[in-house]
Amino acid sequence: MWTIPVEFVERLRARFPGHTFLHARSEDEALGLVGKAEILFAGQISKQLFAAASRLRWLHSPAAGIGGMLFTDMVESPVVLTNGRGMSANTIAEHVLAVTLAHFRRLPHALRSQLRGEWAQDAMSAAGNRTIAGSRVLVLGLGGIGSAVAARMKLLGADVTGLRRNAAETTTGELTVAPASRLHALLPGADVVVVAAPHTRLTRGIIGREELSLMSRDAILVNVSRGQLIDEQALIGALRAGSIAAAALDVFVDEPLPPESPFWALPNVIITPHTSGLRPDHWAAATDLFAENIRRFDAREPLLNVVDKIQGY
């Protein structure tokens, strides 16, 4: 699914006839071709593939999350890294709203009851539905995705606080921005915790056993970043014990999520297969951004979305 379709490769060839585009559809094909490449367009790159890319000058990822690419050889190399930052922010923000509302309105319960042919009005009324209006939402990370989530939650009447690394605590309009050091102080009051921070050495495991223990029993955890930001075993324990109410997970440490994962059987979890960022025009938008950067590369102009390989975003 993450391999660029042939028609978009052809579109790039037509737009840049002076360049040679080599299209690999598998890791083996990529290993055979990458030694010739000065520019690489790839959603992910292995250490083996990077080692084979002896002429590489610039790597562009259509994804926003590039934490898995930041191994030592890449970070220490002169290769410029750019990403798809911001391209899927609005799409992912809509996904966050969808899964939050699904839990608040108890849609998983309704769907299970529907499959059994049960009229579950009493059971659902007893637990009570909730609304985004009046809820307290804590967003971890205020990049493109986190900012889009915060804006939409505010429009629906939520009280939103966003955490940003080293930020001074301020209120901009109706959005409160706080430094990441305030995480533990803010977790107990949050109805919804949205993980939207980039995957870096500082954010890995940011939600662990201690953080989960601080959350309210009514809280919902939504992860649209990377699985590595959450201690999955601690989360499974918290969900089983009812120490938090529910989770909506689009990303996992191991993908595809193994069939034996306990997450599949938990009734208070919504699982989506890393699809929160997908949009109907995904490849058109991804190749348009890449094409603009090719134009800039040829003109020796600054590239868009250059990643700070030390900071990780």
184 tagged catalytic: no
End-to-end Cα spacing for the chain: 24
DSSP conformational letter for 141: -
Contact (CB, 8 A) for 48 and 28:
no
199 tagged catalytic: no
Distance (Å, rounded) from C-alpha 152 to C-alpha 175? 11
Contact (CB, 8 A) for 83 and 289:
no
Distance (Å, rounded) from C-alpha 212 to C-alpha 231? 9
Q: Which is the catalytic residue, given 29, 255, 292, 301?
A: 255
Determine the 3-state secondary structure of 112 from DSSP.
helix
Q: Which of 166, 218, 156 is nearest to 187 (CA)?
A: 218
Contact (CB, 8 A) for 282 and 54:
no
Sign of the dihedral through C-alpha 15, 17, 18, 20: positive
201 tagged catalytic: no
Determine the 3-state secondary structure of 241 from DSSP.
helix
Distance (Å, rounded) from C-alpha 166 to C-alpha 31? 40
Q: Which is the catalytic residue, given 106, 130, 152, 226?
A: 226
Which token pair is 64?
């926003």
Contact (CB, 8 A) for 187 and 197:
no
Q: Which is the catalytic residue, given 60, 106, 274, 282?
A: 274
Angle between helices 107-116 and 89-104 (to 10 degrees): 60
Q: Is the peptide bond before 256 cis (omega within 30 degrees of 0)?
A: yes
Residue 298's identity, in one-letter code, is D
Count CB-CB contacts under 10 A for residue 91.
18
Active-site amino acid positions: 226, 255, 274
